[in-house]
Chains A and B, each alone.
Chain A
Amino acid sequence: MESIKIEQLLEKYENAETSLHEEAVLKDYFNNNDVAPHLQQYQALFGYYAESKNENYSKPIRLNTKKQHWKWLSVAASVVLLFSVYTGYTNNQEKKEAKIAFENTQMAFQLLSKNMKKGTTAMAYLGEYETTTNKIFKNNK
């Protein structure tokens, strides 16, 4: 009784009039049941379809992420560049500050020495006083 129904389905199947559900019935019949002898040639067909569906793509899928690597590389490069510019700048700034400080102290020292000279010229007059006083009060030493 089963095989008559299957035969009808097979005819519909060959005319491409079966629904997916009906085709599932056919596949199920030929892959799981004891198939009627006169229908056995179909067993290979549906067995093959079921088998084909088990074939898988087993390799991992590689995606092109090279572009992203380049992107990250450029980001890294710019970070390094920024950092080096920053350190160079601060170094330079420190040197400048040191130079300014040096100049300032130099200026201060110059001022000091100038005033010191003034003081010593004034002292020269004092020396003059000494000689004149020596002339007036004859020192008998």
Chain B
Amino acid sequence: MKQTEFLSTVMPFKDKVYRLAKRLLVSSEEAEDATQELFMKLWNRKEKLSSYKSVEAFAMTMTKNYCFDRLKSKQASNMSLVHSNYKENGTSLDRKTELNDSVSIVHQLIAKLPEQQRMIIQLRDVEDYEYEEIGKVLDIKPTAVRVALSRARKKIREQLIKQHNYGINQN
């Protein structure tokens, strides 16, 4: 497999890899390093790539495993938690600041979830994966994906309503 061919297979999901890595590793620098490292690994395995049914699912599984390794290693545990601010666009200006706050609240709520649920939320609600695809990436059954996803969504909603009411009571 030549470099151009490799890049054309790999480029469509590079952002997905990065976002999943960021979801797990929190810091954007760590996620960038992880993405870079991962593509090196894929490049080194380029001869075998064509034998996989879905290179993307394989890459996502590799990302998951790599991030878990990073999280386990001491280096990552000493790392400071960096939180970037999310910009909001497409909503009316007057709600913007308020929404900006609640958007970063969602980010924090998701960050508090267990890793498994965080990944499922990421893959389903951000990347629009099918349950079967998520199951393949995480090596669990689609029904288990649904159960975990439902739990995560309910938890986020609960917390969000709590925050929302808290905001109203404050005003």
Task: Convert A50-70 into 0s and 1s, putting 1 for each residue whose CB lies closer than 8 angstroms to a CB of B.
Answer: 111101110101111100000
Tell me the smallest distance from the CB of A44 to a CB of chain B, in Å: 4
Whether the pair A41, B18 counts as a contact (CB closer than 8 A) is no
Whether the pair A15, B150 counts as a contact (CB closer than 8 A) is yes
Chain B residues near A20: list those with CB within 8 A.
128, 130
Q: A62 — nearest CB in chain B belongs to which residue?
A: B36
Chain B residues near A24: list those with CB within 8 A.
128
Verify if B56 is at the interface (C-beta below 8 Å from A).
Answer: no
Verify if B86 is at the interface (C-beta below 8 Å from A).
Answer: yes
Q: Which A residues between 16 and 43 are near B, CB-CB below 8 angstroms?
A: 16-17, 20, 23-24, 31-32, 40-43
Verify if A127 is at the interface (C-beta below 8 Å from B).
Answer: no
Chain A residues near B125: list those with CB within 8 A.
23, 49
Whether the pair A56, B18 counts as a contact (CB closer than 8 A) is yes
Chain A residues near B15: list those with CB within 8 A.
55-57
Verify if B88 is at the interface (C-beta below 8 Å from A).
Answer: yes
Q: Which B residues between 102 and 159 are near A, CB-CB below 8 angstroms?
A: 102-103, 105-107, 122, 124-128, 130, 145-147, 149-150, 153-154, 156-157
Chain B residues near A59: list those with CB within 8 A.
32, 35-36
Whether the pair B105, A63 counts as a contact (CB closer than 8 A) is no
Verify if A14 is at the interface (C-beta below 8 Å from B).
Answer: yes
Assembled-state Cα–Cα distance A53/B22 (Å): 12
Task: Convert B57-74 into 0s and 1s, putting 1 for each residue whose CB lies closer than 8 angstroms to a CB of A.
Answer: 000000000000000000
Whether the pair B164, A41 counts as a contact (CB closer than 8 A) is yes
Q: B129 — nearest CB in chain A belongs to which residue?
A: A20
Chain A residues near B91: list those with CB within 8 A.
31, 43, 47
Tell me the smallest distance from the CB of B84 to a CB of chain A, in Å: 9
Verify if A102 is at the interface (C-beta below 8 Å from B).
Answer: no
- Given A16-B147, A20-B128, A55-B19, check contact A44 B36 (CB 8 Å): no
Whether the pair B3, A63 counts as a contact (CB closer than 8 A) is yes
Tell me the smallest distance from the CB of B49 to a CB of chain A, in Å: 13
Tell me the smallest distance from the CB of A69 to a CB of chain B, in Å: 13
Give 17 pairs: A residue, B residue, CB < 8 Å, sorted on A.
A14-B154, A23-B128, A41-B102, A41-B163, A41-B164, A43-B99, A44-B102, A44-B160, A47-B91, A48-B86, A51-B103, A52-B19, A57-B18, A61-B7, A61-B35, A62-B36, A62-B40
**Which positions in B face A, CB cutoff 8 Å?**
3, 6-7, 10, 14-15, 17-19, 22, 32, 35-36, 39-40, 43-44, 86-88, 90-91, 99, 102-103, 105-107, 122, 124-128, 130, 145-147, 149-150, 153-154, 156-157, 160-161, 163-164
Supply 19 further A-B pairs (C-beta < 8 A) apart from A48-B103, A53-B127, A63-B39: A14-B150, A14-B153, A14-B157, A16-B149, A16-B150, A16-B153, A20-B130, A23-B124, A41-B102, A41-B160, A43-B99, A44-B103, A44-B160, A55-B15, A57-B17, A59-B35, A59-B36, A61-B35, A64-B43
